[in-house]
Amino acid sequence: MLTPSIERLVSELSKLPGIGPRSAQRLAFHLMKDPAARAPALADALMAVAERVALCETCFAFAEDGVCPICTDARRDPTLLCAVEEPSAILPIDNTHEFRGRFHVLGGALSPIDGVDPEDLTIDKLEERIEADGVRELVIATNPTMAGEATALYLADLVRGRARVTRLASGLPVGADLEHSDELTLGRALLGRQEL
């Protein structure tokens, strides 16, 4: 029912994370409402990202000028470092306005079963930054998955003694009902409980 060009657009859009075939169709139809105006603007934005954006030379997040804005921000504490798996994790943490340090993107999580070993990540560069910047605290903000937990434990063992090592707390989200929480989440919440 779709033209070959629209089918191709739907196919490409559905390859994006979180976009299934129906969402891809809706996006394609939205773009087709005024293709002469919307398509070139979208294509230009995509090409600009492809041509100008690369990994930051310092933290391995995204940058346009070699070093990202966070690494060049003199108001940030260079002795406070937060390790994340992917660049996409930086924005939600930064948007809390609770963390005023800098970041380090690992490029994934350790997973020997998938062939991801320490040398496949930017762990060696993290160690260099800890020494060079005099990092006093490393906040480990890996995902609460098996690979994320393994990475957190590996980093903690590697850094302990050179800097304070902390891990993001995990547990119940604000507004959650206890009866809808799984045992692992409740267990984490109990372990991370704080005095009032």
Q: Would residue 154 count as lying in a domain?
A: yes
Q: Give the phi and the psi of residue 45 in degrees, each rounded to 5.
A: -65, -45
Within 10 A of 68 (CB to CB), how many other CB atoms are there?
A: 24
pLDDT tens by residue, 170-182:
777 777 777 777 7
Q: Given this model, what pLDDT does residue 27 score?
A: 94
What's the pLDDT band for 189 if we cut at 50, 70, 90?
confident
SS3 167: strand
What is the C-alpha separation between 57 and 93, in angstroms, rounded?
21
Q: Would residue 80 count as lying in a domain?
A: yes
SS3 9: helix
Q: What is the domain range of residue 130?
A: 74-167
Q: The CATH number of the domain where 107 resides is what?
A: 3.40.1360.10
Tell me the pTM: 0.83
**DSSP, res 172:** P
Q: Would residue 8 count as lying in a domain?
A: no
pLDDT tens by residue, 72-105:
999 999 999 999 999 999 999 999 999 999 999 9
Q: Would residue 7 count as lying in a domain?
A: no
Name the domain count of the chain: 1
What's the pLDDT band for 186 if we cut at 50, 70, 90?
confident
Q: Would residue 142 count as lying in a domain?
A: yes
pLDDT tens by residue, 8-67:
999 999 999 999 999 999 999 999 998 888 889 999 999 999 999 999 999 999 999 899
**Token pair 């304070």 is at which residue?**
164
Q: Would residue 85 count as lying in a domain?
A: yes
Q: Which helix (H) or strand (E) holds 166?
A: strand 164-167
Q: Would residue 86 count as lying in a domain?
A: yes
Gyration radius (Cα) of the chain, Å = 21
Q: Would residue 137 count as lying in a domain?
A: yes
Rounded mean pLDDT of 115-132? Answer: 96
Q: Given this model, what pLDDT does residue 185 score?
A: 78
Q: Given this model, what pLDDT does residue 196 score?
A: 65
Burial 151-171 (b: 16+ CB within 10 A, else e): bbebbeebbeeebebebbeeb
Q: Given this model, what pLDDT does residue 14 score?
A: 95
